[in-house]
Amino acid sequence: MKSPFRLLPLVAILGIVAALPVRAQSLVEIYLVARAYDAAFLSAKSQYEATIAKADQSRAGTLPTLGLGMAVSRTALDANIRLPNPAFGAQSATVSASHPLYRPANWLTYEQGQKSVTVAQAQLQTAEQDLVVRVSQAYFDVLTAQDALTFVGAQKTAVSEQLASAKRNFEVGTSTITDTREAQARFDLVVAQQIAAENDLLVKKLALDQLVGRTGTAPKPLQPPVSLPALLPPDVTTWVEQAVQEHPVLRQSALALQVAQLETQKAKTGNKPTIDLNGSYQIAHNEGSSTSRNGSHINSATVGVAFNLPLFAGYSIQNRIKETLALEDKARTDLEAARRTVSQNTRAAFFGVLSGQGQVKALEAAEASSQSALDANKLGYQVGVRINIDVLNAQSQLFQTKRDLARARYDVLVGGLRLRLANGTLRPEDIEAIDSLLVK
C-alpha cells in the first residue's frame, strides 16, 4: 500500500496543482492531483479511517469500565403539624468499576474488528488501483482525441491540395469534372470529420478536467519513436498465480470467511457462562429526616464476582448457530466465486494486451505500406495511370491507419495497467514506467 507519491509534501502537490493550467502535465502529475480531489477515492479513504476507529471500539468489551455517579437532593415539608426537621437533604457519590474476567464473545468481537481493518485496507487499495486506471484512461483518451484531430487536419490539408490540383487539371482540360467533384465530396466529408473530432476532444478534456478538479489540463504525448514495453512475465499462469495470492478482492473474501467463522464461534459462546469482577465505593451524607435532625455519613466499599449462566433462551442460541453456519458456507462459496472471476479476468486482460501488441506491430507495417501506396498513387496520377479517387482513397487509408496505430498504442499502455488491476498487483508507481515514454 505504500507509494512514493504519498510521501510528497503538501507544498509539492499544491505546486503541481498551480502549474496545471500553464504547461503540459505528465501522467504522474495528473494522478497526484486526482488523488487529492477524486470523490470516490476520498470516500474510500474516509471509510478506511472510520473502520479503524470502529475496530478500536470493539476493544472496549475486553477492558475495564469505570463510572462516577453523584446525587444531591433537598426536601422541604409544609404540614399542619410541627415537624422537628421540616427541611433536610442528602448527598451521595459512587465510583463503580467492572472488569470482564470471562467473556469469550467480547474477545471474538475484538478479533473481528481487527480483521475488518485488513478488509478496509484491501478496499482502499482497490479504490487506489481503480483511480490509477481511471486517470490513465482519461489521460490517453485526450491524447487519442488530439491525435485524431491532428490526423483529420492533415488529411484535410492533403485533400484540399488534391482538390486544387483537380480544379487546375480540369481548367487546362487534362481531367474531367468528375475528379473535381470527387475531391470536393471528400473534402466536405473531412470537414465534417474534423468538426466531430474537435467536439470529441472537447468532451475528453472536460472529462479529464472533472477528474482532477482543474481546467486546462494538457497531457504530454508519447515521445517518438514509440517503443512499447514488453509484457513481463510473458506467461499467463504466473499472472494468475499472482492474482490468487495478492488480489485485494480475494483478500476481502478470505477475510469475510474468517469473520464468518468467528461469528459462528461467537454464537456458540451463547451457551457459555460469563464472569465479571465488580467493585464500587460510595460516600453518602444524610441530613436526617422529617422526624429527626440526626444526620449520617457513611462510606461503603463493595467488591464482588458476578457469574451468569444461560440455561434456556427459547432456542435462540441454537438457531443463531445454524444461521452463522449457513453464512459461513455462503462466505466460502463467495470466496471460490471471486477466485474464479479474478482468474478469468486476469487471463482475458493478459491476452488482450498480447492482442494489442500484435495489432500495434501490424498497424506499424500497415502505416509503412499505406505511405508507399499513397506515394505510388500520387505518381500514377501525375503520369495519368491513376485517377483522382485512387489518390483520395490512399490518403484516407493512410490517415486512418495512423489514427488506429496511435489508439492501439494507447490501448496497450492502458491495457497493461488493466492487467495489473485484474490480477491485483497494480501500484501507483507503475505509471512511472509510462511517464518515461512521454515527451520530456
Domain boundaries along the sequence of the chain: 4-36+103-272+314-435
Grid coordinates standing for 440? 520530456
Q: Give the pLDDT confidence of 256-274 residue by residue, as tens digits.
A: 999 999 999 999 999 999 9
Distance (Å, whole) CA 141 – CA 126: 22
Q: Which residues of the chain have pLDDT under 70?
A: 1-22, 79, 290
Question: Considering the domain 4-36+103-272+314-435 in this protein, what is its CATH number?
Answer: 1.20.1600.10
Asked if 414 and 137 count as a contact pair (C-beta separation under 8 A), the reply is: yes
Cell of 282: 460510595
Q: What is the pLDDT of residue 75?
A: 82
> Tell me: the pLDDT tens digits for 201-244?
999 999 999 999 999 899 999 999 999 999 999 999 999 999 99
pLDDT of residue 13: 43
- Residue 327: C-alpha distances to residues 108, 174, 360, 423 (Å): 17, 84, 49, 27
- Nearest residue to 89 via CA among 99, 75, 78, 79: 75
What is the per-residue pLDDT for 319? 96
Note the pLDDT of residue 222.
95
pLDDT of residue 384: 80
Cβ(249)–Cβ(320) below 8 Å: no
Backbone angles phi, psi at 301, to 5 degrees: -125, 140
